[in-house]
Amino acid sequence: MSDDSVIAADIVVSNMEVIPAYQKLFQDQAKEAKRLQRFEPSCSGLVLHLGVDCIYEQLAHHNFFYSDHPREHFDAVFHSNRLSNDPTIYLVAPVKSDASQAPAGCEIIKILPHIPHLNPDKPLSADDYAALRERVLIKLERMGLTDLRKHIVCEEYWTPIDIEQKYYSNQGSIYGVVADRFKNLGFKIPQRSKQFNNLYFVGGSVNPGGGMPMVTLSGQLVRDKILADLGK
């Protein structure tokens, strides 16, 4: 609530990622937020939602355009904190499954290259992200989406900064936290708070993990935990 009002509740379920929740909502929980730093944020993404005035018949609903240099691409995303010169691109064309998603003769395209999460020690600029957008569109044109940039009618464009602000994700992550066998033994953050027995978390940073199916399942698991805690 933005008006400082208080709503009493017996049970609270937060869909904000766990670390940002402790950082932003609990001023006296800095120690717990620091303890949870062993759960590193996942990668982020540059998200392009395009409306185009043509149909690319060669596209399926789900598509991948792979990097010619996958080792360099993954190093850029996960180790060097760089924007890849030749990213692997995930592309969704939902009109292929539901023609009503766009006007006749048009389609909508979601483009998602994976990129590093926000790193205050190695910040990337708006110009860096804009340059990657251009590289991605040029690559797609080179790989068969002829004159893509000329056919764009409308566009929505998100950087990790936008993702962090819109979804309160941890440093712009899009899949919650990394399962690291050395730092956290491959586990996710528990769904039930250790500090507040009536606080539960859902989303990509808790079990079973990131991605829409698993995030939905996290809500079902929290429901079951709440019912069990209530003895029902």
Task: Name the pLDDT band for 52 (thresholds 50, 70, 90).
Answer: very high
Q: Dig out the tokens for 112 from the structure.
A: 């998602």
> What is the pLDDT averaged over residues 127-144?
97
- Structure-model confidence comparison of residues 181 and 166, the more confident one: 166
So what's the pLDDT on residue 32?
80
Question: Per-residue pLDDT for 3 more than 80?
Answer: no
Question: Per-residue pLDDT for 28 more than 80?
Answer: no
Question: Per-residue pLDDT for 158 more than 60?
Answer: yes
So what's the pLDDT on residue 1?
56
Q: Checking DSSP bridges between strand 107-115 and strand 44-45, what pairing results, if any?
A: antiparallel
- What are the tens digits of pLDDT across the range 76-98? 999 999 999 999 999 999 999 99
What percent of the chain is predicted at pLDDT more than 70?
Answer: 99
90 membership: H or E segment, kind and range = strand 89-92
Closest CA to 176 of 139, 215, 140, 144: 215
So what's the pLDDT on residue 179?
82
What percent of the chain is predicted at pLDDT more than 90?
Answer: 74
Are residues 53 and 30 in contact, defined by beta-carbon separation less than 8 angstroms?
A: no
Mean pLDDT of the chain: 92
> What is the pLDDT averaged over residues 100-113?
96
So what's the pLDDT on residue 127?
97
How many Cβ atoms sit within 10 Å of the Cβ of residue 204? 26
Residues β-bridged to residue 200: 13, 192
Is the whole model's pTM more than 0.85, yes or no? yes
List Cβ neighbours of 5 (8 Å cut-off, separation of 6 or more).
none
